[in-house]
Amino acid sequence: MASIASVTEAPARALTVLSEEESLFQSTVRRFAKEQIAPHVRQMDEAGVFRKEILQQFFELGLMGIEIPEEYGGQGGTFFQCLLAVEELSAVDPSAGVIVDVQNTIVNNAILRWANQDQKRRYLPRLAGDTVSSYALSEAGSGSDAFALATRAVDQGDHFLLTGRKLWITNAAEAGLFLLFANANPEAGHRGITAFLIERDFPGFQVGKKEDKLGIRASSTCELILDNCRVPRANVLGEVGKGYKVAIETLNEGRIAIGAQMIGLARGAFDHARAYVQQRKQFGKLIAEFQGVQFQLAVMATELEAARLLVYNACRLRDAGQPFVTEAAMAKYYASEIAEKVASKAIEIHGGVGVTKDYPVEKLFRDAKIGRIYEGTSNIQLVTIAKGLMK
C-alpha cells in the first residue's frame, strides 16, 4: 500500500483553512477511513477487537510514526498532522482514532522529547514500523490524582525491579512497548516518580484482564501486572525522579488530541444526521424541509465548528512554542461536551432507528462518553482553566 505522502487525490474541503499539504494529508486519511475501516466498524465494536490488518495498514501508511523523523523510519510530519489523522479516523471509528492518538501524541512525542540517542535508535524505528505502544499511568487509587502512584521501582544498580498494578491502559492488548510510571522514591512524593520504557517480554511483566467497555470497544483497555519486573537502567526515560514532568507535559499535549478525537466523532454523528434528514419522509415531505430540524442541524454545526477552532488553536499555539495549557484544557473540555451533545442530538434526529445498532449514531453516542473522562475529566479541565485565568 502506498504511503500517505505518495497519494495525490485532491484535498477534501475543510471548514478551517489548512495548507495544501495539510489538506492533502487530511483527504487521504479520510478516504482510507471510509474505504478500509468503515466496513468493519460494527463487527469490531461487537467483538471488542481491532482488526490486525487495519493496524498493519496504519504502519504501512505512516500513521503510527507521523512526527518521527525520516532517519528513524517515520514521516517527519507535524503534531497538527497527528490531530488531523485522529480527527478523520474518529469520524468513522473513534477506536481507530485513539489508537493512533496514543501512539503519536503520547508515546512517540515523549520519546522524541526526553529519550537519549540510544533509546531513540532502539525504539523509534520500531514504533514507526511495526510496534504499537501504550501509556501506563493510571492505577486503582490514581486517576485524577495522577501522582498517587502505588507502583514501586526499586533501584538495583544496573536495573530496577518494578512491582504494582496499572488499570485502564489503552492499547495494552496490542502493545509491544509501554511508557510506564512508577515511584522510585516514595518518601519524595511525586518527585520520586520515574518514567520507564518497558518491553512486553520483560521478565515479571504481564498484560492482564481486558475491560468490557461501554464505548470505543475495539480499542483495548487492560490492566498491567508487574511482579518484580526487571527493567534495565538504560530504559529510564529522562531522569530518575523526573517522571512527573514527562507525565504532565505529555498529557497536556495529549488532551489536544482527545479534543481532535471528539470533534471527529461529532462530525461523524453530524454527517449521519444530515444524510438521514434528506432521506426520511414524514407528513409527505423530507424532514430536512422542516425548519425545526434545520435549526437543530444549524446549532450542531455551529458548536462543532467552535470546538474545532478551539482544538486547532491549542495545537497551533503548541507548535508555535507559545503557552497552550489553558487552551488545551478548554479544547478538551468543550470538544468532549459537544461530542456527547451532537451524538445525542443525532440519535434524536434519527428517531426510533437511532437507538438501534443498524445505524452508526448509536455507537458514536456510546463512544462519546469517555471523552469527558480519560486524559483528565471535565472537572479537572475546569480546574486547569481556572488556574490559568487566575495567573
Average pLDDT of the segment spanning 101-114: 98
User: Domain total for the chain?
Assistant: 3
Same domain, 105 and 199: no
Mean pLDDT, rounded, for 241-259: 96
- Residue 59's H or E segment, with its range, is helix 52-60
pLDDT for the residue 17: 76
Residues 6+ apart with CB under 8 A from 338: 262, 263, 266, 303, 304, 306, 307
Model pLDDT, residue 10: 35
Is pLDDT of 14 > 80? no
Of the residues 210, 241, 272, which one is the last residue of a structural domain?
241
Residue 15 has pLDDT above 80, yes or no: no
Q: Which helix (H) or strand (E) holds 85?
A: helix 79-92
Average the pLDDT over 100-119 and give the result: 98
**Considering the chain, what is the average pLDDT of its residues?**
95
pLDDT at 12 over 50: no
Q: What is the mean pLDDT of residues 265-289?
A: 98
Average pLDDT, integer, range 259-288: 98
Residue 9: per-residue pLDDT: 36
- Region 16-29: mean pLDDT is 91
Domain CATH code at residue 193:
2.40.110.10
Residue-level pLDDT at 11:
34
Find the catalytic residue in 139, 223, 253, 375.
375
Q: What is the mean pLDDT of residues 219-227?
A: 98
Q: Per-residue pLDDT for 297 more than 90? A: yes
- Could you tell me if 77 and 120 are in contact, meaning their C-beta atoms sit under 8 angstroms apart? no
Residue that is last in its domain, among 181, 214, 241: 241
What pLDDT, in 10s, does the model give residues 173-189?
999 999 999 999 999 99
Degrees, nearest 5: CA angle 124-92-307: 85
Strands 177-183 and 133-136: parallel
Task: Render 2-17 in DSSP notation, one character per residue.
Answer: --GGG--PPPPP-SS-
pTM of the model: 0.94
Confidence label for 16 from pLDDT (cuts 50, 70 and 90): low
Residue with cell 454527517: 271
pLDDT band at 165 (very low <50, low <70, confident <90, very high): very high
Q: How far apart are CA 72 and CA 65, in angstroms?
A: 9
User: What are all long-range contacts of 284-293, with beta carbons under 8 Å and residues at least 24 apart?
Assistant: 287/349, 293/349
Average of per-residue pLDDT across 147-164: 96
Q: Domain check: are 273 and 327 in the same one?
A: yes
Residue 2 lies in a domain: no
Of 83, 100, 131, which one is at a domain's C-terminal end? Answer: 131
* Enclosing domain of residue 122: 9-131
Check if 35 is active-site.
no
Q: Are residues 125 and 232 in the same domain?
A: no
User: How many other β-carbons are positioned within 10 Å of the β-carbon of residue 391?
Assistant: 6
